[in-house]
Amino acid sequence: MKYLHLIWAALFRRRTRTVLTLVSIIAAFVLFGLLDAVRSSFNQAGQSANGAARLQTGAKLSFIQPLPQALQAQIARVDGVKQVTYANWFGGAYQDPHNQVFSFAVAPNYLDLYPEVAVTDTERKAFAATRTGALVGEQLARRFKWKVGDRVPLQSTIFPDRQGSKNWPFEIVGILHATDKKTGGFFDQMFLLNWKYFDETTPYNQGQVGWYVTRVVDVNQADRVAKAIDALSANSDHETRTQTEQAATASWMKQLADIGLIVGSIMGAVFFTLLLLSGNTMMQAVRERTSELAVMKTIGFSSRSLLAMVLAESVLLLLLGGVIGLALATVIIPAISAGSGGMLNLPPVRRGSWSLGVALMVAIGMLVGALPALKAMRLNIVDALAGR
C-alpha cells in the first residue's frame, strides 16, 4: 500500500493518454455488462420450478411446422402426464409492424398449466365466453394503455382471415400478472387469444396446433414421459421432439440465433482490441519512464519490486476502467429495461458477472503489463542512466 501513490502518479503521468485508455476500458466493460445480461436473460428463459415440470412438444423438423390437434388426446393418455394443452404462434403487431406483440392462440385450459400467471376467475370466464376475447400481460397493457373492455385490432404478420385481411379485432377481457417478476417477466408481455377463434377465422390452420405443453406428474419422470410422447408420432409425417421447457426455449432461441456464440465473439473482439490498446499504453508509459525506473533501481528498489509495481499499475488501470464500466452497466441495464416498456427484461449485473468481470480485468491487466514489467525488471541501470 505504501507504493500506491507511486503507482497512481505513474498511471496519470500522461493524463490525456490514460484518460483516453480508461474511456476505452470503460466502454468495453459497459458492453461486457450489457452483453452478459443479454446472455443471462436468454439462459434464464424457461428456468423456473414450474417450468421444470412442463414439457414442450414441437415438430421434430422445425418449430414452425404444425402438429395435428388429435395428438392432444393421445398425449393425455401417456403414463405420467398430468395435463396437456396447446398453442399456436399468432405473430401479432399493434398499429405499426414494429410494435410486435408476443401473441399466442391458446387452448381453453392453457392457463391451468401456468400457475405462475395470475388472472381472476371472472376474467378467465370472460375469456372462455368471449370468442374474440384476449388476455393481456400487465406490462403490455401499460405499454399501449389498454384496459379491460377495450377493443383493439392486431395485425397478424402471418395469418389472414378468410377474406384475406390480416387485421384481427379483439376485446380485452382480462389482465395477466406474472407472480414471479424475476422469472416470469415474459408473461407480463403476452397477448393470449382463443385458439378456437384463431382456427375458425384463418383458412391456414385447419385444426393444427403449433406446439403442445405437458405437465408431468413427477419431474423425475420427465425424460421417460418425453420419450413416450415422441414415440406416439414415430415414423409418421409429423414426428415430434419433446423437451423440457428450458431446453425447448433454448433450442427455439438457438434457431433464431446462437446468442452465446454471438456474445462470445463480440466480447472476444472487444477484449482483443482492448489488449492491444492498453498494452500499447503500458509499453509507451514504461518506455518514457526508463530513466526514472533506473533511478528507482539505483536508490535500491529491487528488480522484483519494479516488476510488481508495473504489473500493479497495469492491473489498476484495468480495474479502474472496468469497475466504472460495470458500475455504469449496472445503472444502464434497468434503464434499458424500463425504457423498452418491458419488451426487454434484462437481469441486473449479477455477482457472477462482477466476479467474471474482475477476473477479466486482473487477467488482462497482468497480460498487458507483463511485457513492460519484464522490461522494467531487466533494466540495466548504467545503460538506462546513460540513455542507451
Partner 1 sequence: MAEKLIEIRDLSKVYERGAQKIEVLHHIDLDVDAGDFVALMGPSGSGKTTLLNLIGGLDRPTGGRITVGGQRLDELGAGPLAKWRAATVGFVFQLYNLMPMLSAQRNVELPLLLTKLSAAERKHRAAIALQLVGLADRATHKPAELSGGQQQRVSIARAIVSDPALLVCDEPTGDLDRAAAEEVLALLRVLNRGHGKTIVMVTHDPKAAEYANHTLHLDKGSLVTQPAVAA
Window 144-183: residues binding partner 1 (CB under 8 A): none
Window 232-251: residues binding partner 1 (CB under 8 A): none
* 9 near partner 1, judged by CB under 8 A: yes
* 10 near partner 1, judged by CB under 8 A: yes
Least Cβ distance, residue 381 to partner 1 (angstroms): 5
What 3-state DSSP class applies to 64? coil
Least Cβ distance, residue 294 to partner 1 (angstroms): 8
Least Cβ distance, residue 9 to partner 1 (angstroms): 4
For residues 223 and 383, which CB has a smaller minimum distance to partner 1 in the complex?
A: 383
**Beta partners for 176?**
137
The residue type at 272: F
Q: Which three cell numbers stand for residue 133?
A: 376475447
User: What ranges make up the beta strands (E) of 319-370?
Assistant: none
For residues 306 and 333, which CB has a smaller minimum distance to partner 1 in the complex?
A: 306
CA distance 191 to 172: 10
Backbone angles phi, psi at 62, to 5 degrees: -160, 150
Read off the DSSP letter of residue 62.
-
For residues 12 and 204, which CB has a smaller minimum distance to partner 1 in the complex?
A: 12
The residue type at 63: F
Least Cβ distance, residue 385 to partner 1 (angstroms): 7
Specify the long-range contacts of residues 22-25, CB closer than 8 Å, at least 24 apart. Answer: 22/317, 22/320, 22/321, 22/324, 23/321, 24/274, 24/277, 24/278, 24/321, 25/274, 25/278, 25/317, 25/318, 25/320, 25/321, 25/322, 25/325
Least Cβ distance, residue 370 to partner 1 (angstroms): 20
Least Cβ distance, residue 315 to partner 1 (angstroms): 19
The site for partner 1, by CB under 8 A, has a size of: 23
CA distances from 256 to 75, 200, 249 (A): 28, 29, 11
For residues 21 and 205, which CB has a smaller minimum distance to partner 1 in the complex?
A: 21
* 374 near partner 1, judged by CB under 8 A: no
Q: Which listed residue (19, 158, 338, 381) binds partner 1 by CB under 8 A?
A: 381
Identify whether the C-beta of residue 12 lies closer than 8 Å to the C-beta of residue 22. no
Of 3-11, 44-52, 70-78, 125-133, the window that binds partner 1 (rule: CB under 8 A) is 3-11
* 6 near partner 1, judged by CB under 8 A: yes
- Look-up of cell digits 378456437: 196
Of 9-17, 78-86, 239-247, 332-340, the window that binds partner 1 (rule: CB under 8 A) is 9-17
Least Cβ distance, residue 371 to partner 1 (angstroms): 21
* 2 near partner 1, judged by CB under 8 A: yes
Instruction: State the chain's maximal CA–CA distance in angstroms.
Output: 94
For residues 8 and 186, which CB has a smaller minimum distance to partner 1 in the complex?
A: 8
Question: Alpha carbon 285 to chain centroid distance?
Answer: 39
Q: Which three cell numbers stand for residue 176?
A: 395477466
For residues 274 and 311, which CB has a smaller minimum distance to partner 1 in the complex?
A: 311
Identify whether the C-beta of residue 353 lies closer than 8 Å to the C-beta of residue 29. no
Window 278-337: residues binding partner 1 (CB under 8 A): 291-292, 295-304
Least Cβ distance, residue 274 to partner 1 (angstroms): 25
Q: Which three cell numbers stand for residue 65?
A: 411446422
Contact residues: partner 1, CB under 8 A: 2-3, 5-6, 9-10, 12-13, 291-292, 295-304, 381-382, 385
